[in-house]
Every structure is written in C-alpha cells, then in structure tokens.
Structure 1
C-alpha cells in the first residue's frame, strides 16, 4: 500500500491525526489491536478540564475546547461534552496548592470558584467535613463521550479516504528511497511521511526505525467502580479529588468511579490493576468521604505516557527526515486531541498554524521534540 502518510497507533492521538491529515492526502492508520482505542484511550476518566499543571498541555486543552463544544457537522450524533464540573478539595495547610490550581485555571480562561468548607460540602455532600478546609471548583469542566469522539475522528478519516487497518502489529520500520516502509504480518505500507502515535509504544517504534528514542515513559494508573450508596442521587455531583492527588471520585451512570491517582512507571503493555493499588485507593477515599466500599464492581488500569518535561510532543527532528512524533499526552490525550491533531497536520503539511492554538499561545516550537526543555530534561 502506497500512501502519503502512514500513522502508527490507532488510539485517540492517531485517530485525530488521521482525521485532519486525511484532508491533505492519502493516509493509512495502523492499529495492532482488533479495535481502535483499545489501550489508554479506552481507559480514561473522560474529563475535560484545563486545570493541568504542565503549561503547554494546559494551553492545548484550552485550544481544544471550541472543537469539543461544537464539532463539525456530521462528526457525532450526540454532544461530545456534557456538564459535570470538577471540585478539588484541600485540608488545612494545603492552601498554596489550591492557589496554584486557581492560577492554572484562570490562565486558561476558565472559571475557578474558591469555596469554603460549606461550599465544598454543598457540591459534594459525601465529603468528611473536618477533612476539608477549602476547595476550587471548575464549573465548566465536562464529561467527554470518548467513544463518540474516537468514532467521530475515524468516521472523518474514512470519509476522506483513509485506510484504517486493524491487526497491524508493526514488526519493521525502514527508510528506503526517500520513503518510510512499515511492515506487519500480512501487510506493508510506505509513504514519504511517517507519524509515530503509538502511545506507550512510541519509543519502541522509534527504535524500530533506527532512531534515538524521545524518552517517553508509560505510567500505570488504576481505577475501579463501586456502588452508589442507597438513597444518594449523585447524578449532578462533580468530579472530586484532593489537591494532593491521593484519590478522586467521579459519578458514573448507576455507580461511582474511584482512583488512587497513582503514577507508577512501567513497561508498555496491556496494563492490569494491582490489588494493593485498589485497596489503597479505597482506603484513601474512605478517609476523606463517607463512602464505605465493600468491594469494587469492576477495576482496570491504563497507561499515561509522559515526556520528560511533562508536555506533549508533536513534530520531527533534524536526524529523522520524514519521521514525526505525536506523543507524551500524559493522560490528557482525549481532551487535547483536537488541538494535537490539528497541530501535527499543520506541522507535517506545512499548512497554516491553527487559530485556536495561536490564540491559546501555543507555537510549533512548544511541541517540538527538539525543544530545549525536553532535551535538557532527557
């Protein structure tokens, strides 16, 4: 198969890139699993927020809001975003961390309501009063329909003539006569441009191509669901977590989701939850809320991949002609996917820089794998 761009990785990053790149040429999107979005993209808290510590990542979220609120006609059958809100609470002595969060939110143009104990309890009544001194509420945080968003990107790519290939576990990547040739059992594709959007496998794919890796590290995070206590209607409660990132809880349809908010460095693979992490999450949640969790209804783990400076990567290097990366979204890949997809499309085609990114203060150099902060951190 000969195309203009080969994309390795069919998660949300690769799918968004395929949607925007396919407007400019022939694209082949390769996914080794039987389904697109199988790994990290299918194991997310599905929250839109701009309360992100890493500055460029936060601005990419800001630049994605308009697309997520108003996707193009025919992109999705239902709204991608629905109201939820995000409450972060702090105990005495943690006020400085709340102030930093408020600054992050306001720098991205978001509302950041400072709440006292009574205000926090009014939003999330299951909090233990003497464990909450104050809170910051982001009322415009939203739930994301992750499957609707993923399918919208794939639909847009198909409509533009992209080839979407499942079961394409890449075995070799080589440079040949000015083209990148990618092969997998039973197939091959070649193109002058290759995009590595393989998530936790970004560095292994880079090594397959004979290039020096970026230093992208996957981190495991565990989550589970548990029954809503009898008599509680949590449908309108916000996502809530403590400012020390020791736990969070999010209302789901018919249940609640909880997490330890841990980040455990691991090898790329099909992540599985550790019983000790689930137990610790339950303990932490029970210390700060009135919830008593007899047993999880379900549990899972996903991988969050970070660059050394915790900001995303989109671009190429001088030593990698025609080879591009879309990587290091650090658990924010869903909510930043519109801006990341548009950014890499502009970078790879030499097109105009998207207005939403420019307004958010993001330039191509901020995403480059050659940026000084990434090289220094590595």
Structure 2
C-alpha cells in the first residue's frame, strides 16, 4: 500500500492527526491493538480544563476549546462537552499555589474564582471543614465525551478515504528511496511522511526507524470508582482535587471516580492498578472529605507520557526527513487533540501554524522535537 502519510499509533493523537491530515491527502492509521484508543486515551478522567502548569500545553488546551465546543457540521450527533466545573482546594499556607493556578487559568482566557472556605464547601459539601481554607474554581471546565470525540475523528478520516488498520503490530521501519516503509507480518505501507503518534511507545518507534529518541517517559496513574452515599446529591458537584495533587474525586454516572493523582514512571506496556496506590488514595480522600469509600466498584490504570519539559511535541527534526513526532501530551492528550492535530497537519504541509495558535503565542519552536532540553533536541 502507498499513501501520502502513515500514522503509527491509534490513540486520540493518531486519530486527530488522521482526521486533519486526511483533508489534504491519503492517510493510513496503524494500531497494533484490537481497537483504537486502547491504552491511555481510553483510561482517562475526561476533563477539559486549562488549569495546566506547562505553558505550551495550557495554550494548546486554550486553542482546542472552540473545536470541542462547536465541532464541524456532521462531526458528531450531540455535544462533546458537558458542564462540570473544576475545584482545587487547599489548607492555609498554600494560598500562593492557588494564586498561581488562578493566574494560569486567567492567562488562558478562563474564568477563575478564588473561593473562601464557605464558598468551597458550598460547591463540594463533602469536604471536611477544618481541612480546607480556600479554593480556586474553574466554572467553565467540562466533561469530555471521549468516545464521541474519538469516533468523530475516525469517522471523518474514513469518510475522506483514510485506511484505518487495527491488529497491525509493526515490526520494522526503514527509509528507502525517499519513503518510509512500515512493515508487519504479511504487509507493509510506504509513505513519504510518517507520523509517530505512538504515545508511551514513541521512543520505541523512533529507535525502530533508526532515529534518536525525544525522551518520552510513561507514568502510571491509578483510578477507581466507588458507590454514592445517600446523604450527598453529587449531580452538581465539580471535579474536585487537592492543591497538593494527592487525591481527586469526580462524579460519574451512578458513582464517583477517585484517584491518588499519582504519576509513577514506568515502562510502556499494559499497566494495572496497584493495590497500595488505591489504598493510599482512599486514605487521602477519606482524610480530607466525609466520603467513605469501602470496596471500590472498579479500578484501573493508564499511562500519561511526558518529555522533559512536560510540553507537547509536534514536528520534525533536520536529521529525520519526512518523520514527524506527535507525542508527549501527558494527561492532556484528549483535551488538546484538536489544536495538536491542526498544528501537526500544518507542519506536515510545510505551512505556518494556524492563526488561532500563533495569536495566543504558540510557535513551531515551542512544539518542536528539536527544542532545547529534549533528549533529541538542540
């Protein structure tokens, strides 16, 4: 098979790349698992927020809001976003951290409300009053319908003729006569452009192609669901977490989700929840709230992959003609996927970044795999 672009990795990054690149040429999206979005993208709290510390990641979230709020006609059958809000709480002495979060939100054009104890308790009545003194509320944070977004990308790409391949474990990548040849048992694809959207496996794909890695480090995060309590009406609760990032709670349909907010460096692969992490999360949540969890209803783990500066990567390097990285989106891959896909499509075409990115201060250098500080950078 010959196409204009072959994309390795069928998570949300690869799906968004297929959607935007298929507007300009023929595309093949290759995923080794049985279905798309198997690893990180399918194991997420699914929150849209711009309360992100890494500056470029925060701006890419800001630039993605309009697509998620008003997707193109025919992209999906109902709204991708549902109002939720996000509350971060802290004890006395952490006001400076809360103020920095408030500043980050404001810098990305979001409403950011600094709350006293009473206002925080009004939003999340399960808090233990003596354990909270202030909070920051992002009222425009949203829940994301991840499957709706993913299927919109895949359906749109397929409608433009993209080939969507699952159960295709790649065994080799080589450069030959100006094309990248991606091979697996029983087949291969040739394309002048290869997009490495392999998430936690992005460095493995780079090495397979004979290229230096960019320093992707996967981190495990464990989460679980637990039963509702009769004394609380959770329907209007926001996503709530501590400013110390040692727990969060999020309402789900018919239950609550909890997490330690852990980020444990690990190797790429299937990851599973650690009993100690679940137990520590339960201890932290029960210490700072009036929730009593008991036995979790379900539990799982997912991967969040970062480069050294925790900002995303999109672009190519001088030592790798026709090879583009789309990686390092950490826990923000879903909420930044529109802007990241649009940026990648422009860079592959040799164009400037879209105006809605440059107008908020994002440059190609900010996203480049050659930027200073990365393993394969300058």
- Give the TM interval when normalised to the shorter protein: over 0.9
2: CA distance, partners of 1:376 / 1:211? 9
Q: Deviations over 1:106-149 (max 9, x none)?
A: 00010000100000000000000000000000000000000000
- TM-fit CA distance, 1:359: 2.4
Q: CA–CA distance in 1 between the matches of 2:172 and 2:312?
A: 25
Instruction: Give matches, 1:300-311, under 5 Å.
Output: 300-311=300-311
The residue number in structure 2 matching 1:174 is: 174
Match of 2:58 in 1: 58
Match of 1:349 in 2: 349
In the TM superposition, 1:280-359 aligns within 5 A as 280-359=280-359
In the alignment, which residue of structure 1 is the partner of 2:40?
A: 40
Q: Is the 8 A contact 2:126 2:232 kept in 1?
A: no
Cα root mean square deviation, aligned: 1.1
Aligned partners of 1:77 and 1:361: how far apart in 2?
Answer: 33
Residue 365 (structure 1) aligned with residue 365 (structure 2) = yes
1:3-59 CA-partner distances (Å, limit 9, x unpaired)? 000000000000000000001100000000010001000000000000000000000
Whether the aligned pair in 2 keeps the contact of 1:217 and 1:306 (CA below 8 Å) is yes
What corresponds to 1:93 in structure 2?
93
Residues 121-180 of structure 1: per-residue CA shift (max 9 Å, x gap): 000000000000000000000000000000000011001110000011111000011100
Question: Quick one: distance in 2 between partners of 1:249 and 1:229?
Answer: 14
What is the TM-score when the length of structure 2 is the normalising length? 0.98
Please say if residues 213 and 376 of structure 2, whose CA atoms lie closer than 8 Å, have aligned partners that are also in contact.
Answer: no
Q: Report the Cα offset of residue 375 of structure 1.
A: 5.4
Q: Is the 8 A contact 2:369 2:377 kept in 1?
A: no
**Structure 2 unmatched ranges of 5 or more:** none
Counterpart in 2 of 1:126? 126
Q: What is the number of residues matched between the two proteins?
A: 378
Aligned to 1:214: 214
**Alpha-carbon separation, structure 2, partners of 1:170 and 1:61:** 31
* Contact preservation (8 Å) 1:203, 1:213: yes
1:294 offset after TM fit, Å?
Answer: 0.8
Tell whether 2:80 aligns with 1:80.
Answer: yes
Q: Which runs of 5+ in 1 are unaligned?
A: none
CA distance in 1, matches of 2:304, 2:185: 28
Change in 2 beyond 3 A, CA 1:370/1:335: same
TM-score (norm 1): 0.98
1:20 aligns with 2:20: yes
Query: Who is 1:143 aligned against?
Result: 143
More displaced stretch, 50-59 vs 227-236:
227-236
In 2, are the aligned partners of 1:309 and 1:377 still within 8 Å (CA)? no
Deviations 1:94-117 (A, max 9, x none): 111101100100000100001000
CA contact (8 A) 2:247 2:285 kept: yes
Shift of 1:376: 9.5
Separation in 2, partners of 1:333, 1:53: 15
For 1:67 and 1:218, how far apart are their aligned partners in 2?
Answer: 28
Q: Distance in 1 between matches of 2:135 and 2:251?
A: 18
